[in-house]
Every structure is written in structure tokens, then in C-alpha cells.
A = this chain, B = another copy of it.
Amino acid sequence: MELAAGIDFGGTFAKIGLVERGGRVRSRAQVAMDPRESFEGIVEPVAETLRGLIANTASGEKLVTIGIGTPGFIDKTEGVLLGGCENIPSLQKRSVQQYLGKAFGVPAFAENDATSAAAGELAFGAGRNYSNFVFITIGTAIGGGLVLGGRVYRGWRGFAGEIGHLCVNRNGPWCNCGSRGCFEQYASGTAILRVYSEKLRKRGENPGSSLTAREVVERARAGDPCARDTLEEAGMWIAQAFGSLLNVLDLEACIVGGGVSEAGEILLEPIRRHLPDHCWRQTGSGVIVRTAELRNDAGILGAAAQAFERLE
């Protein structure tokens, strides 16, 4: 059986999986990341771990391709990481794609991690019934990916899908992308945590320094009114961004992933309720707003799915 390696580089771990064409993860491992390490110091332990997984496969099983997801802008021909990956600086200007391709003697493909996760949802998850959809992943920041006409859309150079940097408030704060009032400033985990903490402070409560966006989501699920209002507000901004995208791209579905999407209907219901205020009736009608399905495996599965697809 042919297997693809799916590798998902994050700020603290690299996740590695051997994946069947049908989407079953046969084996998996993870490697702790030290972002201060050199390029080889980061990539070689990943390669070593992958060799270990391959050594444990049955006879007749074979690695045929490697898919890689990393943060940032990845050039779509050579796989060079051209920027936007400040968390893992030694990956910048280098190509994990070329390194691992050579190391294993198989085709390798690197891609932005959120675009890769969108590919995973298309192949095996919440997007498998839709040919045109936007996927956002709400974590510390907001990542995004687009599936257009049944395929992952990568754009001119491979940089497409920066949904978090759609301007939703032209007078808003400056963003690290160089623009102002980006969507990410209002609906990321960071923003949700900031808004909720401010709401608590105004009510004389101390949010504490260890609070996380996931905890805000938990509190909303438990009925905390400030947490619910915070997610309502985030939902309104998400609806604005989705509305503009529906007018521009005429999409069938909007899929929300990442830690904050664990809020489920508490977040989705306000998005759906506000959506008609932000698009044409024609482009908004019938559109599905739902959560992603693959959760922790999205990165591995998406990278593997893209690698398999590009083999063909």
C-alpha cells in the first residue's frame, strides 16, 4: 500500500503521520520543536522520526510522497518559506520541501499550514461535499484556506488564503501584516481573550494572567454572559468577513476550525444571524456555516492529501 507522510510544523511540536490514500492515519509521532535551533536542528529530528515510522511499516507498504505544512508564505514551486513565520525563524528562506524530498527520494510538497488544513477538510472532513468554500482556523491568529472549483486555491505565488488579513475596519489598529483593522484583530483567540478580559475588568473582576481563549470558550459554554457576549461579538466580525467573501467568491460553505471553534453553536449561531447584513441575498442564501471536523489531525491529513493529489 502507498503511504504519504503528513508533517505539520507548529511553534512547539512538529506532528508526523503516515497516512493512507483514503485518509486513515496508520502511525503517528510528534517531535518537540526548539524554535532557536538551526534549520537542520529542526528538520533532521523530524526526518529521523519519520524514518522510524517507516521502519515499522509492514512489507509491501511504501512511502510515495511527503506533504508538509508550515506557517507563513511558501513559494509554490520550490517550497521556500518566504516570510510570515516569525515563530520558527530558522525555517525562513529555506525549503523543508527540498530537504525532505532529497532525504527520502520521493516528491515532497510544502504549503501554508492553514491552506493544508483546508485541503484536509476537503479530502476527508467538513468540506468533502463542497466545491467552493472558505476555511478559517481560529487560534492565536486566524489562518485561512480557500477551495475553489473543487481544488485548493493557492494563487499566483502560493500566498492565497490570508483571510485573517481581510480588512474589516479601516480605522482599526495596525496589524503585523502592515495593514489596519484586519479581521484577525477582532476574532482571533488573542482578540477574544483581550475583549473578554476587558469586560471582566470593567466589572471589577481580575481575569488573571493564565486565562486562555479556550477557557473563554469553556466559560461561554458554561453560561458566563461576558464570555457569550465576547463570542457574539467575534461572530459579528466573522459574519462581516464571510459576507464580503461570499460577494466576491460565491461560496457554498464557510468552515470554522481551530481551538475557538470548539465553541460550536455559541459561535456559529451569531455568524449565521449576522451574515445577511453583510452580503447580497443571492450570495448569502443557502450557504452552510459549520465547524471543521478533523481537529488535531487536520494538519497531518491535509498535508498528506495535498501530497497525494499532486502526485497525480
Contacts and interface: CB of A to CB of B under 8 A. Distances in A.
A177 interface: yes
B160 A280 contact: no
B155 A249 contact: yes
A276 to B, nearest CB: 7
Nearest to A162: B247
A37 interface: no
Interface residues of A, number: 49
Interface stretch (A56-64, A238-246, A290-298): A238-246
Contacts of A146: 248-249
Contacts of A15: none
Given A279-B178, A280-B165, A245 B243 contact: no
Given A280-B165, A282-B82, A247 B156 contact: no
Interface stretch (A42-50, A167-175, A218-226): A167-175
A137 to B, nearest CB: 15
A14 B83 CA distance: 49
A194 interface: no
B250 A177 contact: no
A155 B132 contact: yes
Interface string A142-186: 001010110001111111111101111110000001111000000
Nearest to A158: B250
11 contacts: A73-B280, A132-B156, A149-B153, A156-B251, A157-B282, A161-B248, A165-B248, A167-B240, A169-B170, A170-B240, A178-B277
A84 interface: yes
Given A153-B149, A249-B155, A250-B160, A280 B170 contact: no
Given A84-B282, A167-B168, 7 more contacts: A73-B282, A84-B280, A146-B248, A155-B250, A159-B250, A162-B248, A177-B247
Nearest to A168: B170
